[in-house]
Structure 1
Amino acid sequence: MILPLASADLLPKVIMGVDPGTQIMGYAVIEVQGQRVTVLRYDVIDMKKLGTNHALKLKKIFERMTELIEEFLPDELAIEAPFFGVNVQSMLKLGRAQGVAIAACLSRQIPYVEYAPTKVKQSVTGSGNATKEQVAHMLRQTLQLPPIEEAPKFLDATDALAVALCHHYQKGNNVKAGGKSWGKFLADNPSKLAAPVAGKKVAVAKKKPAA
């Protein structure tokens, strides 16, 4: 899909977007090259079956994030900042989930940036008060995604996709924790690259080692 954005950097960049959650965590991976945005995957990490064991949920988030990092080799992480609510315990748990997702990326030298929910909605729809459905509708139009009736997990996953696209619109400004990517880390440390898991789509071939 060609978006109406100018970009001086024609090298491909892979951005991972995450919408933190303690029951359902949305994630999305996009590849940006010039004005072209390609959705590589958008889905969720479902933790409902883990019940009330918060430690197991955090473990699952870290493990799944690590798998996604190894599969897609993102250059940057864009993650939604927790919103302020009336339930302090829920806020604390959500903050831990966000922190674990960030830690998984930092362990692979991937820089990250946080975006407020209103900033994400504003970037994608033009309104900071847009609903989840409105965000999903705009993304479906912009990126030619399947209709909502064809994607049961659409709203959770598209929230994460909106975060990734918001980061693209911001042109990667204010990334934290340095500028190294997981792909650059592997190029500098080839011994850290594990054998690909059978049946998985591995994006290694799409990334070229730095000269």
Structure 2
Amino acid sequence: MRILGIDPGLRTTGFGVLDAEGAQLRYVASGVIQTASAELGDLPARLKILFDGIRELQSRYQPEVAVVEIVFVNVNPQATLLLGQARGACVTALVSCELPVAEYTALQMKQAVAGHGKAAKAQVQAMVQRLLQLPAVPRADAADALGLAITHAHAGRTVDRLRAAGLTRTTASMYRRGR
């Protein structure tokens, strides 16, 4: 299964593509979509860059499933709203390509990749490099996206079975309970 991981951000959105065959993971590609070409205050232009960039990734790599990080509520409500809009543009682009979209929190990804939910960015980068046998440490945004893809490769089947049995929490309930 080919998995596209997305770590949404308004300025920089990380992406990572890997192939999963059972427990075997194979790195395909990773990088970032940057919206610096649009003016800082031009939110619609930045969202269009993200939307078009995600659709281009889908066309180029032909993933079977996409994974997007769930936005956490930040101390700065304005930053949270802007990040939510960037995430919405990414999810909309994926859905418009008729891709199934899985969602995990940063805590879930860090737990799956580094072994604990409070892992630092550098720890996630190092573990992604090790798990995918990469020659160098990936950029932080790309490492998070690859981490999301790794998380789904390992947990996706179980989550799908739980969802089919009606045993998973909804995103709304996760927010009410503080994730």
TM-score, L = length of structure 1: 0.72
Displacement of 1:174 after TM fit? 4.0
Gap regions ≥5 residues in structure 1: 1-12, 176-211
Question: Is 1:44 paired with 2:32?
Answer: yes
Q: Which residue is 2:57 aligned to?
A: 68
Q: Which residue is 1:20 aligned to?
A: 8
Q: Which residue is 1:185 aligned to?
A: none
Moved beyond 3 Å, runs of 4+: none
Aligned partners of 2:96, 2:156: CA distance in 1, in Å?
Answer: 23
Q: Which residue is 1:143 aligned to?
A: 132
Indicate which of 96, 100, 114 corresponds to 2:103.
Answer: 114
Aligned partners of 2:132, 2:14: CA distance in 1, in Å?
Answer: 17
Q: Which residue is 2:141 aligned to?
A: 156
* Cα deviation code 1:109-133 (max 9, x no counterpart): 1111111110000000111000110
Question: Is 1:123 paired with 2:112?
Answer: yes
Letter in 2 for 1:159: D
Displacement of 1:171 after TM fit? 2.8
Displacement of 1:146 after TM fit? 2.5
Q: Which residue is 2:48 aligned to?
A: 59
Q: CA RMSD in A?
A: 1.5
Question: Is 1:170 paired with 2:159?
Answer: no
Contact 2:23 2:154 in 1 (8 A): no
Structure with the bigger percentage of helix: 2
Letter in 2 for 1:112: V
Contact 1:16 1:30 in 2 (8 A): yes
Aligned partners of 1:24, 1:94: CA distance in 2, in Å?
Answer: 11
Q: Which residue is 2:169 aligned to?
A: none
Q: Which residue is 2:70 aligned to?
A: 81
The count of aligned residue pairs is 159
Displacement of 1:38 after TM fit? 1.2
TM-score, L = length of structure 2: 0.84
SS in structure 1 at match of 2:74? coil
Aligned partners of 1:20, 1:39: CA distance in 2, in Å?
Answer: 20
Gap regions ≥5 residues in structure 2: 162-179
Aligned partners of 2:143, 2:17: CA distance in 1, in Å?
Answer: 11
Displacement of 1:28 after TM fit? 0.6
Larger gyration radius, structure 1 or structure 2: 1
